[in-house]
Amino acid sequence: MDKETLFDMSADSLEDVAPISEVFDLSGKVAVVSGSVGLALFVINRLLECGAKVVFGARTQEWGDMALAALGDLGYEDAAFKQFDTRDVDECAGLVRFAEERFGPVDICVPVAATWQARAFLDMDEELYDDIVDTDMKGQYFLVQAAARSMVRAKHGGKIVTIASVAYRGEDMAHLAMMTPYNAAKAGVVGMTRGIAKELKQYGINVNCVAPGGMVTPGAIANCVETVARYGAEWQADQMGGGKDTPVASTPDEMARMIVTMCTNVSDFMYGKVVEVDGGAGFSFQEKPWSYTMEGGLHG
């Protein structure tokens, strides 16, 4: 076969490629998100920007009302909030029913809601363990289940993006650790994502996962305050000293952009994958331009 014929086989397909604006267009899609502040708020904002209608839920009505007001100030009208507890299976189903009643069958699900608190393994109690694991893993599992049922009933496929953390691979606070339930829950999210992806592919549903690294959020700040109150100033000093070299995103939008990308047709050929957005945590980046040959190099 000659080169021209081979080239035409590829070039002819360009006519069938959708414009990139259409790939990212979520107009008419209905999304369900858990959480109302921090990363969740930025995910909601980007979903709305792409044209989706968004229902979100969280435990605190006050934060939900403030989120709606902030989104309204940005000109978004297709957002609705319902107070719910992601740890409760029936309430997960209720949030999806609310979305169906408000906007129609669900197309997208992003279970962002999470909690954590640094606590020594030897000090961990059952109540805190259950709160972390039930919020961070069980809550995701059953909200995804409820959303998937809506997608299957509607027979239109969908996108599910679970939220893990680099903590799933055992990374947490440098030189301190102290986050074993969070490590376990986020590792569980990765495992369940892969399992669910294998079951739901037959329905045209893409299930993938985003694992964020460090970021500045109200929850992270509040959780650190609680830990300092328990362990004191010495713990705070160790936490700040050990974490100085850990990449921390100044805004959750760094993560939200990838999460929402995975909600679009960009992920059409992806199943059960984990995308890590962590600022290169674990890398030892070169800090000086060591070059003798290039202009702009240290010795150039």
Task: Kindly list the catalytic residues.
Answer: 182
Question: What's the CA gap between 258 and 239, in Å, rounded?
Answer: 28
- Whether 277 and 258 have beta carbons less than 8 Å apart is answered as yes
**Please, what is the end-to-end C-alpha distance for the chain in angstroms?**
49
Question: What's the CA gap between 300 and 287, in Å, rounded?
Answer: 16
Work out the number of other CB atoms within 10 angstroms of the CB of residue 61.
12
Q: DSSP readout, 167-207?
A: GGGT--STTT---HHHHHHHHHHHHHHHHHHHHHGGGTEEE
Question: What's the CA gap between 274 and 290, in Å, rounded?
Answer: 34
And the tokens for 111?
Answer: 């279970």
Distances (CA, A) of 245 to 172, 173, 238, 248, 282: 13, 11, 13, 9, 10
Close Cβ partners of 160 (under 8 Å, ≥ 6 residues apart): 108, 109, 110, 144, 147, 148, 196, 200, 205, 206, 207, 208
Going by the DSSP 8-state scheme, the letter that residue 30 receives in this structure is E
Chain position carrying tokens 């414009």:
19
